[in-house]
Amino acid sequence: MNEFVERQMKLTWRPPKKAYDVVIVGAGGHGLATAYYLATRHGITNVGVFERGYIGSGNSGRNTTIIRANYGIPAAVRFYQRSVDLYRGLEEETGRWLMHQEKGILWMAHSEAAARTERMRAKLNTEFGAETEFVGPRRVQELCPQLDLDGGGRWPVLGASYHPQGATARHDRVVWALAEGAMERGVDVHQNLPVEGLILEGDRVAGVRTAAGDIAAGVVVSAVGGHVSRLAAMAGVRLPIRTHRLQAFVTNHYRQQFGPIVASSELFFYASQTARGEMLLGAEVDPQPSFSYRSSHDFVQQVCRRALYLLPFMSGLRVLRQWTGVCDMSPDYSPILGPTGVDGFCITTGWGTWGFKAIPAGGEQMAKLIATGEVPELIAPFGLDRFARDRTMADRASAGTH
């Protein structure tokens, strides 16, 4: 626990009850947001959140914190725009400074084909509610003077889609604010208490098994990030999810003038500057499925090589820190959330490399589903049944690095 959490947060730790109306497995952003919105929007507070490590110890505390809604299919644009809007009001709502900062995101085009794609993205985004425009090289340079528009002679910047609402927020502050908001309304959060099994009554999931005993539940929600295949299998649910490593790193401080977030789908990397002044870089997932948290030198080497074409000033910086998370990747690069076909068991998964931005809307919609028993319109296209119905939500290009 850091000083901010210890000194400032109002957290009430209680022992687990024998039964809850709702048990949420995993205290990452999605589990905690579901608990928070159940308590704040629906008055449902008999909720237990079980976390095997500490709050935010999964990907919610390891990501590069980019928030945006410039997706590639209408249902995703609407959903992520809802999340962008909720993030905008979250500091005021929770009374916590989440270091939310709108910086804008520039998505570079280095070829005519990519420029066409970015123009189309801008049109589609605008049509479905997310502000995005295509801008030429001169405007790109105004927004980010550090960019080499020649791309080292190999990757010229022909333009970019510009999404001014692109933002970042401090990831651990987000999860702790949601935890605090839920706990002060009566939700129990239990750290260091893994769910080891599910209690099945006939065809129904009726609770969870933990080292503190069996806990009965009206509904069990799986929000376990990359570990979902194992938990879902306990309920007899087979998911189209593969777990892959995703890495990121920061450099030492660079003078505080790097304004927007910069991404290139052709060079497979994105970069932004943290509040501390470090340059923060990420890229695509490792191609090989894995549950390993080991970081690799190869990743840093490859990303640096690609980033230097556009950001040559970085050659004077040093890599300070590198880390890894394990991502729940769906085949169509869209989330999977809602009922599973097993009574009493819901999932929020498939958040892959893009789920931090989705935390408020994902939690809000899951809470609505649990409270009303109806699948909300906003998430209906993202149900698990879409794979059986051959209605996949293919949106790979929106992951930013594909």
Ligand X SMILES: Cc1cc2nc3c(=O)[nH]c(=O)nc-3n(C[C@H](O)[C@H](O)[C@H](O)COP(=O)(O)OP(=O)(O)OC[C@H]3O[C@@H](n4cnc5c(N)ncnc54)[C@H](O)[C@@H]3O)c2cc1C
Part in contact with ligand X (CB under 6 A); list of ranges 10-18, 141-149, 178-186, 345-353: 345-353
Q: In angstroms, what is the C-alpha Rg of the chain? A: 21
Partnered with residue 322 across adjacent β-strands are: 249
Question: Shortest Cβ distance from residue 314 to ligand X (Å)?
Answer: 18
The residue (of 30 and 173) whose beta carbon lies closer to ligand X is 30
Question: Shortest Cβ distance from residue 100 to ligand X (Å)?
Answer: 13
Q: Please name which of 63, 64, 102 lies closest in space to residue 272, comparing C-alpha atoms.
A: 64
Say if residues 83 and 65 touch (Cβ distance below 8 Å).
Answer: no
Within 10 Å of residue 14's Cβ, how many Cβ atoms?
12
Q: Which residue is nearest to ligand X (CB)?
A: 28
Between helices 29-42 and 359-372, what is the axis angle to 10°?
A: 50
Among 96, 100, 173, 357, interactor with ligand X by CB under 6 A: 357
The residue (of 110 and 245) whose beta carbon lies closer to ligand X is 245
Residue 270 phi, psi dihedral angles, 5° rounding: -140, 155
Binding mask 65-94 for ligand X (x = CB under 6 A): xx----------------------------
The residue (of 51 and 332) whose beta carbon lies closer to ligand X is 51
Between helices 74-94 and 359-372, what is the axis angle to 10°?
A: 90
Contact between 273 and ligand X per CB under 6 A: no
Tally DSSP H helices, then E strands, for the chain. Answer: 10, 19
The identity of residue 234, as a single letter, is M
Structure token digits, residue 133: 């425009």
Among 82, 163, 227, 368, interactor with ligand X by CB under 6 A: 227
Contact between 53 and ligand X per CB under 6 A: yes
Part in contact with ligand X (CB under 6 A); list of ranges 46-54, 114-122, 133-141, 146-154: 46-54
Among 40, 64, 165, 265, interactor with ligand X by CB under 6 A: 64
Question: Shortest Cβ distance from residue 217 to ligand X (Å)?
Answer: 13
- The dihedral over CA atoms of 147, 151, 152, 155, expressed in degrees to the nearest 10, equals 160
Binding mask 296-335 for ligand X (x = CB under 6 A): -----------------------------x-x--------
Contact between 364 and ligand X per CB under 6 A: no
The kind and range of the H/E element at 269 are: strand 269-273
Structure token digits, residue 109: 């085009």
Structure token digits, residue 291: 């549950």
Lateral strand order in the sheet of 319-329: 133-135, 159-163, 105-109, 261-264, 269-273, 278-282, 242-253, 319-329
Within 10 Å of residue 12's Cβ, how many Cβ atoms?
11
Partnered with residue 209 across adjacent β-strands are: 197, 214
Question: Shortest Cβ distance from residue 156 to ligand X (Å)?
Answer: 26
Part in contact with ligand X (CB under 6 A); list of ranges 13-21, 63-71, 107-115, 117-125: 63-71
Contact between 246 and ligand X per CB under 6 A: yes
Cβ partners under 8 Å of residue 179, min gap 6: 9, 11, 27, 32, 36, 49, 55, 189
Q: Which of residues 9-38 bind ligand X (CB under 6 A)?
A: 25-31
Question: Shortest Cβ distance from residue 56 to ligand X (Å)?
Answer: 7
The residue (of 113 and 233) whose beta carbon lies closer to ligand X is 233
Binding mask 131-170 for ligand X (x = CB under 6 A): ----------------------------------------
Q: Please name which of 300, 292, 272 lies closest in space to residue 356, comparing C-alpha atoms.
A: 272
Among 35, 354, 364, 370, interactor with ligand X by CB under 6 A: 354
Contact between 50 and ligand X per CB under 6 A: yes
Contact between 381 and ligand X per CB under 6 A: no
207 SS3 class: strand
Part in contact with ligand X (CB under 6 A); list of ranges 71-79, 117-125, 221-229, 293-301: 221-229
Question: Shortest Cβ distance from residue 339 to ligand X (Å)?
Answer: 17
Q: Are strands 197-201 and 204-210 parallel, antiparallel or unpaired?
A: antiparallel
Say how many residues touch ligand X, by CB under 6 A.
40
Say if residues 103 and 143 touch (Cβ distance below 8 Å).
Answer: no
Binding site for ligand X (CB under 6 A): 25-31, 50-53, 57-60, 62-66, 194-195, 223-225, 227, 231, 246-248, 282, 325, 327, 351-357
